[in-house]
Amino acid sequence: MDFVFGDSWLRVTVISVTLAGLVFTWTNERKSVERANRLHRTGNLPKAVAVYQNRIDSDSLRLGLRYNLGTSLLELGSARAEEELAFGVERMRSSHEARAL
């Protein structure tokens, strides 16, 4: 009987630790994106660009990041803005098309 419960507790522990890690990661990512959005709204565009770029560099899967980066770059007058906006829109469009299938 101990063998069965011992195995179950190990599985529950591993699953719990994994879920806690996922929640922690998601919360931190969410906070930094919200921070970048606040920086953009208050007009601190260089810092917003840095935070967006940092999230993109860390291989984030959030679709709107490239678009948000593009809008910040556009307001700064950067030549890179068009590329980021186009990439962001295309990525969101392909995601919506995939969901429709």
The string of pLDDT tens digits covering residues 40-59 is: 999 999 999 999 999 898 87
CATH number, domain of 69, equals 1.25.40
Q: What percent of the chain has pLDDT over 70?
A: 84
Full domain range(s) for residue 16: 2-100
pTM to 2 decimals?
Answer: 0.64
Domain count, the chain: 1
In this model, does residue 4 exceed pLDDT 90? no
User: CA-CA distance, 62 to 76, in Å (whole number)?
Assistant: 23
What integer pLDDT is reported at residue 21 of this predicted model?
87
End-to-end CA distance of the chain: 48
Q: Looking at residues 32-38, what average pLDDT do you find?
A: 89
Reading phi first (left if > 0) and then psi (alpha if -120 to 50, else beta), residue 78 is in beta
Dihedral angle at the C-alpha atoms of 11, 16, 17, 19, nearest 10 degrees?
120
In this model, does residue 101 exceed pLDDT 60? no
What integer pLDDT is reported at residue 53 of this predicted model?
93
